[in-house]
Amino acid sequence: MSDRRAQTGQAAEAVVARRFEEAGFVVEARNWRCKGGELDVVAARGELLVFVEVRSVTTDFLDSPTLTVSAAKQGRVARAADLYLRRRAVAPRDIRFDVVGVVFGAHGTRVEHLVDAFTSPWAF
């Protein structure tokens, strides 16, 4: 990954983490890595734990970077979330998977938040 792309991703994750904190969440983890993948942001509020996939672009070309989260990516996030939950001291009552797209475009920064964007295969 190029330095510029990594910096853009880190900047987007910082924007997203700040928005969750402003909404009353505690950010438990950022860039949590495991053998099966990575969790960009993990945020908790009360009995709710949210796993957030952050996508970013530096152009207004795409309607939304959230469109780039494939079924395969959802599976990797879900597997990483499963490992995260196994290592967490207290199990949450509610779990949610969100996708947040951040566009650093010519007209400023735009954020699109898809709440409960997908369901983990092990949720059934």
Q: Residue 51, SS3?
A: strand
Fold of 3-123: Trna Endonuclease; Chain: A, domain 1 (3.40.1350)
Q: For residue 124, name the pLDDT band (cuts at 50, 70, 90).
A: very low
> Residue 108: what pLDDT?
87
Identity at 17, one-letter amino acid code: A
Q: For residue 122, name the pLDDT band (cuts at 50, 70, 90).
A: low
Q: Give Cα separations from 118 to 14, 29, 34, 77, 115 (angstroms).
A: 22, 20, 21, 10, 9
Q: pTM of the predicted model, to two decimals?
A: 0.92
Q: What is the pLDDT of residues 1-19, one digit of tens each?
A: 678 888 988 999 999 999 9
